[in-house]
Amino acid sequence: MKNNILSKIAIAGLLLLFNSAGLAAHNIVGRVSDASTGEVVTGATVFIPALNIGTTTDELGAFKIKGLDGMTYELTVSFIGFETRVVQATTSAALDIRLNPTALNLKEIVVNNQRDLSKTMTIINQIDLELRPTRSSQDVLRMVPGLFTAQHAGGGKAEQIYLRGFDIDHGTDIRVTVDGMPVNMVSHAHGQGYADLHFLIPELIDNVDFNKGPYYTQQGDFTTAGYANFNTRNALNRSSLKLETGRFDTYRAVGLIDLLHKSADSRQNAYFASDLTFTNGPFESPQNFNRINLMGKYNGLIGTDKVLTVSLSTFSSRWEASGQIPDRAVRRGIINRFGAIDDREGGNTSRTNANIQLLKTLENGDLLRNQFYYVNNQFRLYSNFTFFLEDPVNGDEIRQVESRDIFGSNTSYVAERAIGNMSLRSEAGLNIRYDKTRGSELAHTANRNRLINYLALGDIDQLNASLYLDEVLKVSDRFTVNAGLRFDQFSFGYVNQLDSVYAHPVVYANTFSPKLNFYYNASPNVQFYLKSGIGFHSNDTRVVVPQNGVEILPKAYGVDFGTFVKPFPRLFLNLAAWFLDLEQEFVYVGDAAVVEPSGKTRRYGLDFSGRYQATDWLFVDVDLNYTRPRSRGVAEGENYIPLAPTFTSIGGLTTKFGKGLNASLRYRHISDRPANENDSVTAQGYTLLDGGITYTARKCEFGLSFENILNVDWNEAQFDTESRLFDEPEAVSELHYTPGTPFFVKGSATFFF
């Protein structure tokens, strides 16, 4: 009898447990999209105020809130640039939520509700895309807070990059991608990691996923100071034609054509874009810079579980350049600031891209990403850094040439699982990239056409395959742990066409890169984070193979401690203290065909970003960045890192009235910094004011943009270089620079249809 009663109690308990589990198994699922285009919205916040819980939409615009007790809830759905919607939701039917575009409102920002914690800085970027005008492709990289660029070869060459106390050259310490395709060129004719973004049409940028430091498992080679992935728009709200003209014979035409003219319900988008640019620049010798960009893209939701994206693009440019000029030539009156010692510098380059991406949600809710891409790049550059130092008769002109094909794929699998009261987001990935470069050349030439001799000539084959696993454990609503491990395998092959084949023409190397990050939500408007990780940058194949694998993949060790704070509904702040050690830095010596290791370095500093919406129409933004960069193991006073910035700041005021009149006034500041190891030569800092004003109507928009409003004499790219002029008996080492743009005004007219 007693056993019978116990049996009944046990059965009743099991039934209660089963029923309770059933009650707790209710889920709310749905998809969020743009009401005007049908494009899915990634990163939208879906929140249940009554329970103080929520989530964000994935790359297919989908979301799921699990384990609910009831059947009906009120949701708030928000995303920057869209009207917030309040939706009545039940657990019995999937939701189709359409958000209407609207003016920027910082109230919509949610500090601590990020699905992918590796993209915590995306919030700042979404604001900046609205506030910071992008006037040209050279402005694109400046979207990253604290990043400065300098152009010193006529506008067609990749910009010099400065970030977190690095003179990154053209990309050695920042990983740059566009729609997942690599921009950095390994073992490039002009420098390791060369990152030329001029193939990207600025008007097509949808968002920039960026972060600083080596803390992100998905990011590999060159991710030491940070990374930036530029994502192009999947859809156009409408077609447009923009015409621009400005000082210095500057002309530009941009066409954005919606190809489908579809309804928002179709969820299929396709467009074609073109960009034609010409300028002579402010120099005495015309730049004759001309560039053409073409791009076509399709993006569509297939069924309910797949998104297919296909894009084709190509660009080509040609230009002349006055190059870097020695300070003494200007002081002596040989030339003025916009003159040239050798105005036959310049070159031509082209890039063609094919990119296919497929995102698929599996029946269990997991996400599978597949991407395949192909890149063809042609490059030819003429430079003369030292004038008559090496060859007093013919001069020191050099030619750098290469022809490159890149084949690659990115595959990842993302799963989210409940572990008791905790949730675990797992991502496993495989990346493969193969670079095949033919005719990588450095030659001594005269007048561009006459070959004097080859300094380097060879063929390069480089393969990078990597595996990674990234885990995000949400311990509670307040505390999250992110741990990851990345493994990269490299093979470096070089056939030197000038010398006998090396004893080891192919060299192999590999490295492990662990990451460990912590996030703590002190309140809905305050998040603290502690990031730590090891990254690396690869060396040039032409150095790796002759040295038989010495110093191939030097590591970077970093730590960030910071916070995101929203003390008021319309004020968003980010503050971070950081530390970074490098085992080895690389300095590219372009006219000697070598990459020189420059020893161990250490950097630490503070970053601050603030975004404030003073009224519905007035926005204030500021970035402040302080760094102390030093070489390690070198005597004090001899341990400065040449051209490494120590203090930078950008910011401004922007009005956003929506339809009608809008304006902005912005500043850029970089302080003086050492140009050599003992600080005996100083790279001059500058402060510039830029601005713009636009008037938008229903069918057209007119604008004026201004650069260097105060017409300041400033040096853009600067180097401590040893050179010799035609009338000098001995070489002189001093500051060489490219003068920055004087006051520049450009007008534009855009027509919508």
Instruction: Note the pLDDT of residue 262.
Output: 65
Higher-confidence position of 420 and 114: 420
| Whether residue 98 is found in the same domain as residue 141 | no
Please report whether residue 132 resides in a domain. Answer: yes
Instruction: Note the pLDDT of residue 104.
Output: 81
**pLDDT of 410 strictly over 90:** yes
| Whether residue 91 is found in the same domain as residue 220 | no
Question: d(Cα 329, Cα 90) in Å, to the nearest integer?
Answer: 76
**pLDDT of 2 strictly over 60:** no
Q: Is the pTM value of this prediction over 0.75?
A: yes
Confidence category of residue 15, pLDDT binned at 50, 70, 90: very low
| Whether residue 92 is found in the same domain as residue 143 | no
Higher-confidence position of 702 and 656: 702
Instruction: Note the pLDDT of residue 127.
Output: 82
| Whether residue 91 is found in the same domain as residue 216 | no
Question: What's the average model confidence in pLDDT over 210-230?
Answer: 95
DSSP 441-481: EEEEEETTTEEEEEEEEEEEEEEEEEEEEEEEEE-SSSEEE
CATH number of the domain to which 62 belongs: 2.60.40.1120
Tens of pLDDT, residues 30-47: 889 888 888 888 888 888
Instruction: Note the pLDDT of residue 598.
Output: 72
| Whether residue 58 is found in the same domain as residue 139 | no
Instruction: Note the pLDDT of residue 3.
Output: 47
Question: What's the average model confidence in pLDDT over 48-56?
Answer: 83
Encoded amino acid at 607, one letter: D
**80: containing domain:** 2-102
Q: What angle do CA 563, 566, 570 make, to 5 degrees?
A: 145
Q: Which of 70, 102, 134 is the last residue of a domain?
A: 102
Structure tokens at 593: 């065909």
Question: What's the average model confidence in pLDDT over 184-193?
Answer: 93
Are 422 and 66 spatial neighbours (Cβ–Cβ below 8 Å)?
no
Provide the CA 359 distance to its chain's centre, in angstroms: 22
Structure tokens at 342: 């050798």
Question: d(Cα 163, Cα 167) in Å, to the nearest integer?
Answer: 7
Tens of pLDDT, residues 426-471: 999 999 999 999 999 999 999 998 999 999 999 999 999 999 999 9
| Whether residue 126 is found in the same domain as residue 71 | no
Confidence category of residue 12, pLDDT binned at 50, 70, 90: very low
Question: What's the average model confidence in pLDDT over 485-514?
Answer: 89
Count Cα atoms within 13 angstroms, Cβ side, for 112. Answer: 24
Instruction: Note the pLDDT of residue 752.
Output: 95
Please report whether residue 529 resides in a domain. Answer: yes
Question: d(Cα 188, Cα 440) in Å, to the nearest integer?
Answer: 8
Instruction: Note the pLDDT of residue 112.
Output: 67
Question: d(Cα 653, Cα 620) in Å, to the nearest integer?
Answer: 5
Question: d(Cα 158, Cα 140) in Å, to the nearest integer?
Answer: 12
Please report whether residue 113 resides in a domain. Answer: no
Question: What's the average model confidence in pLDDT over 249-256?
Answer: 97
Query: Phi first, then psi: what are they for 340, rounded to 5°?
Result: -150, 145
| Whether residue 96 is found in the same domain as residue 182 | no
Confidence category of residue 592, pLDDT binned at 50, 70, 90: low
Which residues does 288 contact at the CB level (< 8 Å), separation at least 6? 280, 318, 319, 320
Of 331, 318, 387, the closest CA to residue 153 belongs to 318
Are 745 and 246 spatial neighbours (Cβ–Cβ below 8 Å)?
yes
Structure tokens at 605: 């500093």
Which residues does 7 contact at the CB level (< 8 Å), separation at least 6? none
Please report whether residue 108 resides in a domain. Answer: no
Provide the CA 203 distance to its chain's centre, in angstroms: 16
DSSP 129-178: HHHS---SGGGGGGGSTT-EEE--STTSSPPEEEETTEE-TTTTTEEEEE
Are 123 and 109 spatial neighbours (Cβ–Cβ below 8 Å)?
yes
Tens of pLDDT, residues 349-389: 999 999 999 999 998 889 999 999 999 999 999 999 999 99
pLDDT > 90 in the chain, percent: 66
Please report whether residue 340 resides in a domain. Answer: yes
Confidence category of residue 403, pLDDT binned at 50, 70, 90: very high
Instruction: Note the pLDDT of residue 117.
Output: 62
Question: What's the average model confidence in pLDDT over 263-276?
Answer: 85
Q: Which residue has the tokens 């993209």?
A: 119
Tens of pLDDT, residues 328-337: 999 999 999 9
Residue 538 DSSP label: P
Structure tokens at 67: 């384990």
Decide: helix, strand or coil at residue 529: strand
**pLDDT of 6 strictly over 50:** no
Strands 95-99 and 26-34 turn out to be: parallel
Question: d(Cα 18, Cα 490) in Å, to the nearest integer?
Answer: 53
Are 375 and 405 spatial neighbours (Cβ–Cβ below 8 Å)?
yes
Decide: helix, strand or coil at residue 404: strand
**pLDDT of 8 strictly over 60:** no
CATH number of the domain to which 696 belongs: 2.40.170.20
Structure tokens at 549: 């694998």
What is the C-alpha end-to-end distance of the chain, expressed in Å?
84
Confidence category of residue 110, pLDDT binned at 50, 70, 90: confident
Question: What's the average model confidence in pLDDT over 482-498?
Answer: 95
What length is written for the chain?
753
Instruction: Note the pLDDT of residue 153.
Output: 75
| Whether residue 80 is found in the same domain as residue 226 | no
Please report whether residue 107 resides in a domain. Answer: no
Q: Which residue has the tokens 């001093």?
A: 734
Encoded amino acid at 447, one letter: N
Question: d(Cα 535, Cα 412) in Å, to the nearest integer?
Answer: 20
| Whether residue 94 is found in the same domain as residue 142 | no
Higher-confidence position of 747 and 79: 747
| Whether residue 373 is found in the same domain as residue 298 | yes
Number of domains in the chain: 2
Structure tokens at 311: 């894009």
Radius of gyration of the chain (CA): 27
Q: Which of 68, 102, 136 is the last residue of a domain?
A: 102
Structure tokens at 398: 């050099």
Question: d(Cα 569, Cα 550) in Å, to the nearest integer?
Answer: 53
**pLDDT of 24 strictly over 80:** no
Are 581 and 604 spatial neighbours (Cβ–Cβ below 8 Å)?
no
Higher-confidence position of 581 and 266: 581
Which residues does 209 contact at the CB level (< 8 Å), separation at least 6? 119, 122, 125, 228, 229, 231
Q: Which of 102, 134, 150 is the last residue of a domain?
A: 102
If phi over 0 gives left and psi between -120 and 50 gives alpha, with beta otherwise, what is residue 668? beta
Of 701, 619, 690, 529, the closest CA to residue 80 belongs to 619
Tens of pLDDT, residues 593-632: 555 567 899 999 999 999 999 998 999 999 999 999 999 9
| Whether residue 174 is found in the same domain as residue 85 | no
Are 602 and 580 spatial neighbours (Cβ–Cβ below 8 Å)?
yes
| Whether residue 446 is found in the same domain as residue 394 | yes
List 577's β-bridge partners, or say none.
561, 606
**pLDDT of 678 strictly over 50:** yes
Query: What's the maximum distance between 2 C-alpha atoms anywhere in the chain?
Result: 116
Tens of pLDDT, residues 531-582: 999 999 999 888 888 776 667 899 999 999 999 999 999 999 999 999 999 9
Distances from the Cα of 108 to the Cαs of 83, 237, 525, 648, in angstroms? 9, 22, 12, 29
